[in-house]
Amino acid sequence: MNDQTIIAIVAMACAALTVALGAIGAAIGESRIGAAAMDALARQPDEASSITRTLFVSLAMVESTAIFCLVIALILLFANPFIGSAGQ
Amino acid sequence: MNLRIFGDPILFQLGPIPITETMVTSAVVTVILLAVAILMRSLVRSWPQHWLSVLAFLVVESFDNLVEEIVGRRHALVATFAGSMFLFIAFCNIAGQLPGVHPATGNLATTSALAAVVFLSVPIAGIQSNGLWGYIKHYFRPNPLLMPLHVISELSRTLALAVRLFGNIMSGHLLVGLLVALAGFLVPTPIMALDLLIGLLQAYIFSILSTVYIGAAISAGEE
Amino acid sequence: MSPTLTTFLFEAANFLVLAAVLGWLFFKPVRRALADRREKFESDNRQAAQKLAEAEKTQQEINETRAKLQAELNEMRTREMETARQQADQILREARSAAAREREMSHRLAAQMSGTQRDILAEVSAAAAADTVGRLLRQIGGPALQSALVASACEQLRSLPQDGVAPVKVESSQPLSPDQLASLKNALGAAADTADFRTVDGLGDGVRVSTGKGLIDASVGGLVQFASQSLVKEMSNRANSQQPMQSIQDA
């Protein structure tokens, strides 16, 4: 069990943890955004287009945190600078 | 197996400049886009009832309306910018669904370049609209202490813009590639459909966010 | 140069060029075409509204003219109908009077014709009746009839006043018997002396005595003649009293 193996194990565990926690946060945030958008739509159906646009933008911004987590996990797995030739 | 996350193979060298696959893909997409646009333009002139002309009218009118809603008034330059951004990203994402084509937006360099263009367009639009001093002044509002936060916000949102698009497109493409490698024929089809939807959605979000940023800069001096 | 940096720069330049060319070749002309179309629509709308207003005005004028013409037409029609009614009345009146005249004339003609026919009929029937009576009397004729007729003449002569009976003329077709002659002379009384007895034809049985007071005819010929005359008179009286024109007028 050399250093490379330890680094690889830790990187894999961190990647899994990153994606899992990031997905939880993004999921909770997106669900709240969806609920709030439904509420607003029920209150003001006339503003549907504006609400929908804002909803998409907000979803994308919250989603981007999960995407960041995914990117970091991928970096850890495939482009880890501490692993010599793990990537590619 | 066409799985690639950060790599970008160099196809050939043009003098000192290495030509990568992403560059070729985006250049081809640009050429196709321009060809379609020129066809639509001639059709708009000669045959306004054709469905392509109607589509062109629809695109231009919808982006004009979008900019009018976000910025508060009609702004042809911003609408052109947002429309071009949407069309380019959408065409790149759709092109990524073709077999053997790696989407140009699935490369961090491309999305970073687009985000950098937006990042640079924001102060240009603000200065053009409010003057140099009027634009700089809004960094010190409501309190000069908040100026670092403004700067960090601009930088981070640019980073978020770039990484969001890259992450979405790259992960979608990666997922499809993994499914093709693991499960084989026809299994990734629903995922590809979702990928298509996500690609269009991300293009829309990218153009809307850039419009929002530019619009905020344009109306910065009016608050 | 690293491939990443060149890609970055190329993509930025690529997008800027794309945006510029798209703005120049696509967005600007399409936007202008849109504006042109909108302007055209608006001008078309304006023209349409203008034409609509003109059309409505023309329609109103047409309606007014039509109403006026209708009123004139109604008036003319009423007048024409009045004139026609008057003419019809006049024609009807003339026709009625002509018809009345015609009817009058025909009535008169019919009355005339019926009068003539009546007379002829009366005479014919009278002649037939007289002929019948004469033939009857002649069939039962003979000395008995002769004496009865003479007795009748004597009876009538006796009822006459005695004065002014003369001159007396006694005519008969059959020769008178002495008894008959004696009774006649007895009946004549004083005038018997100047009495002229003669025999004539056509009387049949009986005698005819003409006196100063009147004619006493007791012969078959005289009876027949008297019957005929009285029949004609009776018929003409009956006809006049019944007014035969009345029935024709009713028909």
Q: Would you state the pLDDT for residue C239?
A: 66
Contacts of C17 in chain B (CB under 8 A): 30
Of A81-85, B162-166, C38-42, C129-133, the range with the lowest mean pLDDT is: A81-85
User: Domain locations in chain B?
Assistant: 10-222
Give the gap in angstroms from C-alpha A63 to the nearest C-alpha of chain B. 8
Q: Would you state the pLDDT for residue C178?
A: 81
User: Considering the entire predicted model, what is its pTM?
Assistant: 0.63
Tell me the ipTM for this assembly: 0.89
A83 assigned to some structural domain: no
Q: CA dihedral defined by C15, C21, C27, C30, rounded to 10 degrees?
A: -150
A-B Cβ pairs (cutoff 8 Å, strict): 49
Q: Would you state the pLDDT for residue C251?
A: 47
Q: What is the mean pLDDT of residues C39-63?
A: 94
Q: Which residue of B has its CA nearest to A55?
A: B205
Place of tokens 């009576």: C133
Chains in contact with chain C (at least 3 beta-carbon pairs closer than 8 A): B
Give the β-pairing of C169-172 and B10-14: unpaired
The CATH number for A63's domain is 1.20.20.10
Quote the CA–CA distance of C3 and B222 in Å, as a whole number: 43
| HSE toward the beta carbon, residue B104, CA cutoff 13 A | 28
Report CB contact under 8 Å: A56, B168: no
Contacts of B202 in chain A (CB under 8 A): 60
Q: Does position C247 have pLDDT exceeding 60, yes or no?
A: no
Q: Would you state the pLDDT for residue B119?
A: 94
Contacts of A75 in chain B (CB under 8 A): 6
Mean pLDDT of chain B: 87
Q: What is the mean pLDDT of residues A45-69?
A: 86
Q: Would you state the pLDDT for residue B50?
A: 85
Quote the CA–CA distance of B1 and C79 in Å, as a whole number: 107
> By the CB < 8 Å criterion, does A48 face chain B?
no
Q: pLDDT exceeding 70 applies to what percent of chain B?
A: 96
Q: What is the mean pLDDT of residues B18-43?
A: 90
pLDDT band at A87 (very low <50, low <70, confident <90, very high): very low
Number of independent structural domains in chain A: 1
Q: Does position B176 have pLDDT exceeding 80, yes or no?
A: yes
Q: What is the mean pLDDT of residues C15-23?
A: 92
Mean pLDDT of chain A: 86
Chains in contact with chain A (at least 3 beta-carbon pairs closer than 8 A): B
Q: What is the mean pLDDT of residues C119-143?
A: 79
A86 assigned to some structural domain: no
Contacts of B38 in chain C (CB under 8 A): 25-26
Q: Would you state the pLDDT for residue C114?
A: 77
Q: What is the mean pLDDT of residues C59-83?
A: 94
Tens-digit pLDDT profile for residues B128-160: 888 888 888 888 878 888 889 989 999 999 998
- Kindly list the distances between the CA atom of residue C78 and the CA atoms of B168, C81, C98, in Å, as whole numbers in the listed order: 92, 5, 30
Tens-digit pLDDT profile for residues C208-231: 887 777 777 777 777 778 877 887
Q: Would you state the pLDDT for residue B1?
A: 40
A87 assigned to some structural domain: no
pLDDT band at B111 (very low <50, low <70, confident <90, very high): very high
> By the CB < 8 Å criterion, does B212 face chain A?
yes
Contacts of A57 in chain B (CB under 8 A): 205, 208-209, 212
A85 assigned to some structural domain: no
Q: Would you state the pLDDT for residue C123?
A: 80
| Beta-ladder partners of B129 | none
Q: What is the mean pLDDT of residues B37-44?
A: 88
Report CB contact under 8 Å: B166, A71: yes
Q: Does position B208 have pLDDT exceeding 60, yes or no?
A: yes
Q: Would you state the pLDDT for residue C58?
A: 95
Contacts of C10 in chain B (CB under 8 A): 23, 26, 113
Report CB contact under 8 Å: A61, B201: no
Side chain identity at B219, as an amino acid letter? Answer: S
Of B37-41, B65-69, C140-144, the range with the lowest mean pLDDT is: C140-144
Chains in contact with chain B (at least 3 beta-carbon pairs closer than 8 A): A, C
Report CB contact under 8 Å: B202, A79: no
Q: Which residue of C has its CA nearest to B44?
A: C30
Q: Which residue has the higher pLDDT, C30 or C75?
A: C75
DSSP-derived secondary structure for chain C:
--HHHHHHHHHHHHHHHHHHHHIIIIIHHHHHHHHHHHHHHHHHHHHHHHHHHHHHHHHHHHHHHHHHHHHHHHHHHHHHHHHHHHHHHHHHHHHHHHHHHHHHHHHHHHHHHHHHHHHHHHHHHHHHHHHHHHHHHHHT-SHHHHHHHHHHHHHHHHHS-STT--S-EEEESSPPPHHHHHHHHHHHGGGGTT-EEEE-SS--SEEEEE-SS-EEEEEHHHHHHHHHHHHHHHHHHHHHHH-HHHHHHH-
Q: Which residue has the higher pLDDT, B177 or C248?
A: B177
**Nearest C-alpha neighbor of B140 from the set B220, B65, B28:** B220
Q: Could you count the other beta carbons within 10 Å of the beta carbon of residue B77? A: 15
> By the CB < 8 Å criterion, does B207 face chain A?
no
Most confidently modeled of B123-127, B136-140, B178-182, C119-123? B123-127
Give the gap in angstroms from C-alpha C44 to the nearest C-alpha of chain B. 17
Side chain identity at C54, as an amino acid letter? Answer: E
Parent domain of A45:
3-78
Report CB contact under 8 Å: B5, A50: no
Report yes or no: A19 and A67 within 8 Å, Cβ to Cβ.
Answer: no
Report CB contact under 8 Å: B80, C12: no
